[in-house]
Amino acid sequence: MLLIEVVRVSEAVTRTPARLGKIGHLAELLGRVGAGEAEIAIAYLSGELPQRQIGVGWRTLQDLPQPRLAATATLAEVDARLTAIKAVSGQGSQAARRALVNELFAGLTSQEQAFMLRLLGGELRQGALDGVMIEAVAKASGAPAADVRRALTLRGWLPAVGAAALAGGVTALRAFKLEVGRAVSPMLAGSAPNVAAALDKAGAPAALEWKLDGIRVQAHRADDEVRVFTRALEDITSQVPELVEAVLGLPSGDLVLDGEVIALRPDGRPHPFQVTASRVSSKLDVARLRERTPLSVFFFDALRVDGADLLDLSYDERQGILGRTVPAALLTPRLVTGDVAQAETFFTDVVKAGHEGLVVKSLSSPYAAGRRGAGWVKVKPRHTLDLVVLAAEWGHGRREGKLSNLHLGARDPEGGGFVMLGKTFKGLTDELLAWQTERFLELADGPADAWTVTVRPELVVEIAFDGVQRSPRYPGGMALRFARVLRYRPDKRAEEADTVETVRSLVL
Ligand SMILES: Nc1ncnc2c1ncn2[C@@H]1O[C@H](COP(=O)(O)OP(=O)(O)OP(=O)(O)O)[C@@H](O)[C@H]1O
């Protein structure tokens, strides 16, 4: 297949506003891609090829050669060239890489060059929009989207899953298994405005678990080897020796467990989130840090024990196995109830103990890896959302010369953009103001007017607010009440920010 065909589909997807239309364009192309090319086509269309993987910096992409007039480059040729660029290492690699990039671009038309520039720059995202590519793979292969999604959470790389689906349909998809040592996307929680609504959503009776404000961990063990991954699937094994030791102390030598690590004070109350976060992110002198700020380990789910995949079992069944595998001291405190009054008391107690709130879990739900559904519903006394900064306004008075008032957006998986929910400058410290002004100027995407700087939607910020009210003034028909900034979330990408649907679930 020619690269230009992929480029044209990419452009058509960008131009088409409706989700079904986007899926249609992608599926049509996938339906006729050759066997050896499916993985490449999906990778390119999903923008799954940021420059850091290929090792091409912006400087290498300056002064590119003149484009060709006729499009003759095939996907396989382009990919072979990218693989060669990626393989360059050692002395003089910068110049060698530059020469190879030049050769690659010399064979492309201007339309193809523009596409490759965006792809290598990590700016091509349309195919990665929530689920669009998954559904296109499903449509083109005739397999149910649920099977594609499941295989993806187990394999973690859509191009490989898509290629398997196109080649072998449902059978190939069902052959993907949970592997010890390879992280799977963790199950996520939906939201509810209060405990009664959460019970309602999860289905009473449900399990109410403490929501600990620490770092999500997925621990894998094969005999004496343990590896630990974060929610973003980063390997943090060396930073959390307490967890490694806890896992090695368990009776089973073949495990995948899900849980949270958190720094607790001697009186058992949690340290502020930043204390846990900085402890877990420090790679140096872990032994000394560990003495000063020990981490406590709380498991709340079992994905695999003694070689058996547990993902499709119900929460209740998985808890049974977890309880037989992990001692009580390492389990997240919980209460199973259908009684709203009892649930509310449990909630009040956990908040009094300094924790974040509860995660209310359906007893019958399987482990829906990578998904946010009604199986798990979080409730917090203080509402918070992770939103994306869309623009910022120049401040006045004490904040003169600083970009201050933030325009906040929730992700819109349907439309692929962000929906603005309100503005705030509350909660910003002088330090944050200085930092964000600098970042926004780097991310500036052309000023909207003299007071406002529009930024590329990349920074995720955690916002506290008192509630969501209906408001015709904002495009989503709702606005946040008394929004204030809690912290930036450098651990989250804009694609992981909260969605309009989550915000809607908080309207009372
Ligand atoms: N008992 C628990 N069960 C599940 N998740 C828990 C529990 N206790 C704490 N957590 C944390 O809560 C998160 C679940 O909420 P969610 O999926 O919305 O992630 P999040 O967006 O990081 O949420 P938040 O910012 O509210 O912590 C998990 O990723 C995990 O880190």
Q: Do residues 208 and 342 lie in contact, with contact meaning Cβ atoms separated by under 8 Å?
A: no
CB-ligand 1 contact for 209 (6 Å cutoff) = yes
What is the reported pLDDT for 51?
54
Q: Is the pTM of this model over 0.90?
A: no
Which CATH number does the domain housing residue 112 bear? 1.10.3260.10
Same domain, 375 and 387: no
Region 353-380: mean pLDDT is: 91
Higher pLDDT, 415 or 176: 176
Residue 122 has pLDDT above 80, yes or no: no
CB-ligand 1 contact for 332 (6 Å cutoff) = yes
User: Which residue from 185, 192, 186, 187 is spatially nearest to 377, judged by alpha carbons?
Assistant: 192
> Is residue 56 packed enough to be buried (19+ CB in 10 Å), middle (13-18) or exposed (0-12)?
buried
- Tell me whether residue 297 is in a domain: yes
Residue set of the binding site for ATP = 209, 216, 231, 260, 300, 372, 378
Which CATH number does the domain housing residue 367 bear? 3.30.470.30
Q: What is the pLDDT of residues 16-60, one digit of tens each?
A: 888 899 999 999 999 999 988 999 999 999 887 765 567 777 777
Same domain, 206 and 162: no
Q: Do residues 188 and 160 lie in contact, with contact meaning Cβ atoms separated by under 8 Å?
A: no
Q: What is the maximum span of the chain, computed from C-alpha positions, in angstroms?
A: 72
Instruction: Give the chain's mean pLDDT.
Output: 92
- Return the C-alpha torsion angle 442, 446, 452, 456, nearest 10: -50
Same domain, 277 and 403: no
Same domain, 363 and 397: no
Same domain, 170 and 215: no
Region 445-450: mean pLDDT is: 74
Report the SS3 class of residue 92: coil
Shortest-distance Cα residue to atom 8 of ligand 1: 211
CB-ligand 1 contact for 299 (6 Å cutoff) = no
Q: What is the pLDDT of residues 251-297, one digit of tens each?
A: 999 999 999 999 999 999 999 998 999 999 999 999 999 999 999 99
What is the reported pLDDT for 50?
60
- Write down which residue in 330, 355, 379 finishes a domain: 379
User: Ligand 1 pocket: which of 184, 191, 216, 322 to mutate (most atoms <8 Å of CB)?
Assistant: 216
What is the reported pLDDT for 153?
83
- Tell me whether residue 186 is in a domain: no
Q: How confident is the model at residue 106 (pLDDT cuts 50, 70, 90)?
A: very high
Same domain, 164 and 52: yes
What is the reported pLDDT for 372?
77
User: Which residue from 427, 422, 415 is spatially nearest to 469, judged by alpha carbons?
Assistant: 422
Strand ranges inside 165-291, DSSP E = 188-191, 206-211, 215-222, 225-229, 254-263
Q: How confident is the model at residue 222 (pLDDT cuts 50, 70, 90)?
A: very high
Region 75-82: mean pLDDT is: 94
What is the reported pLDDT for 190?
92
ipTM score for this prediction = 0.95
The residue range of the domain holding 67 is 3-174
Give the catalytic positions in this structure: 211
Q: What is the pLDDT of residues 123-133, one digit of tens each?
A: 776 555 668 99
- Write down which residue in 379, 400, 419 finishes a domain: 379
Region 478-506: mean pLDDT is: 91
- Write down which residue in 325, 344, 379 finishes a domain: 379
**Count of structural domains, the chain:** 3
User: Which residue from 375, 466, 426, 484 is spatially nearest to 193, judged by alpha carbons?
Assistant: 466
CA of 205 to the centre of ligand 1 (A): 21
